[in-house]
Chains A and B, each alone.
Chain A
Amino acid sequence: MSTETAPATTESVETEHDHHPPHLQHHFVSSEQQFDSAKLGMWLFLITEILLFSALFVAYAVYRNWNPMAFAEASSTLDWVLGSVNTIVLLTSSLTVALSIHFIQKNDKQKTVISLLSTLVLAGGFLVIKYFEYMAKFEHGIYPGEAFAPTGSGYEYLAAIPYVPQFFSIYFVMTGIHGVHVVIGMGLIGWMAWRAHRGDFSDEWYTPVELTGLYWHIVDIIWIFLFPLLYLV
């Protein structure tokens, strides 16, 4: 049985036993290592999210390149005012989530919770606006796919333009998947707010809040691209 032992080894073993913050998992040597790992893991997860959406952007690019007119016509029926408002709503929620990290870094529990809850409210607002947008479309028979059957003034003429359904399919799939991410994000943020309230986090350790924040920003970034491509063609 051979085991190379050297000063460094004992050192790392010691570190582990001397300070043992409650959040430190046994297989990490230090909080720093644990934090760095979590963060790199999160960034890797975020690029999987980006690549997941990339296929939708590619589909968008391909069909828009082929049918620019149909896309322009179809896009003009989307409500750019609501879209802009939603963009601002999400940007604000990004700000509040960034603030929550700022406050937890300063150990200000109350402000952290408030920032997180504001984020939650803004995210909810985004979904409500999105709901009304969807409903306005469904009312006029604008559905993804086969069910697409535009009715009513301002929409009827779409039926005659080929490839308009492609635009709406892409629109619904993209915003739908984005919406699912918003819902998941709300769950995470609510959970973080509760944990922050419970006092789980401090300036020593707030990794989950930071990771949730990263996730939320990516959701925002995807919307930043969706907005001009879908609403402002």
Chain B
Amino acid sequence: MAHATDDHAAHGHHIIPIPTLLKVFGALVALTAITVGLSAFDFGMFEIPVALGLASAKATLVVMIFMALKYDNPVNMLTFSVGVLFVAVFLIFTLLDTAFRGDMDNVDRLTIEERERLNEQLQESDVDAEDLQVAPSDMQ
């Protein structure tokens, strides 16, 4: 810990040069402009993926360079990734419900047993040959 320089080497403190910071800032502004520009067009179902993709690109730049995660201890990267992963889990599993809510509505209201009983009843009852003609080919 004698010299500042040693310190930096030992601590892995990375000084990010100003040109890099400015370039990243330029990219962020450009991506913002693209986001706004693209929002004028209708991408239909791709709208959200496009918007989120651009936002993620911006966020990645901020996290990697401004927050220096790229030069940082890997455990911090791991921490951050786990956080993001669980946001995804939260989102996906909740949508798994809400996007398919009511998917049981078209299920048969009769139980299997009742259905069988009904079939039996139908079988027992006399049916005319005419009643059985349902498809065009039956009519011939």
Most buried by B among A30, A55, A98, A229: A98
B25 and A62 contact, CB distance less than 8 A: no
- Indicate with 1 or 0, residue by residue over B58-91, a CB within 8 angstroms of chain A CB atoms: 1100110111000011011001101110110011
Instruction: Determine the main DSSP class of B at the interface with A.
Output: helix
CB-CB under 8 A for A84 and B90, given A43-B79, A47-B80: no
A36 and B73 contact, CB distance less than 8 A: yes
Contacts of B76 in A (CB 8 A): 39-40, 43
Interface size class of B (residues with CB under 8 A): 35 or more
Q: Total A-B residue pairs with C-beta atoms closer than 8 Å?
A: 135
Q: In this assembly, does B116 line the interface, its C-beta being within 8 Å of a C-beta of chain A?
A: no
B87 and A54 contact, CB distance less than 8 A: yes
Contacts of A97 in B (CB 8 A): 66
A51 and B55 contact, CB distance less than 8 A: no
Closest CB of chain A to B24's CB: distance in Å? 8
- Indicate with 1 or 0, residue by residue over A106-148, a CB within 8 angstroms of chain B CB atoms: 1100000000000000000000000000000000000000000
Interface size class of A (residues with CB under 8 A): 35 or more
Contacts of B95 in A (CB 8 A): 58, 61-62, 65
Contacts of B82 in A (CB 8 A): 47
Which listed residue (B1, B15, B67, B84) contacts A30, Cβ 8 A? B1
Closest CB of chain A to B68's CB: distance in Å? 8
Which listed residue (A21, A98, A229) contacts B1, Cβ 8 A? A21
Which listed residue (B29, B39, B51, B94) contacts A58, Cβ 8 A? B94
Q: Which residues of A contact B (CB under 8 A)?
A: 19, 21, 30-32, 35-36, 39-40, 43-44, 46-47, 50-51, 54-55, 57-58, 61-62, 65-66, 80, 84, 87-88, 91-92, 94-95, 97-99, 102, 105-107, 203-204, 213-214, 217, 220-221, 224-225, 227-229, 232-233
3 A-B pairs with the lowest CB-CB distances in the bound complex, closest first = A47-B83, A232-B39, A228-B51
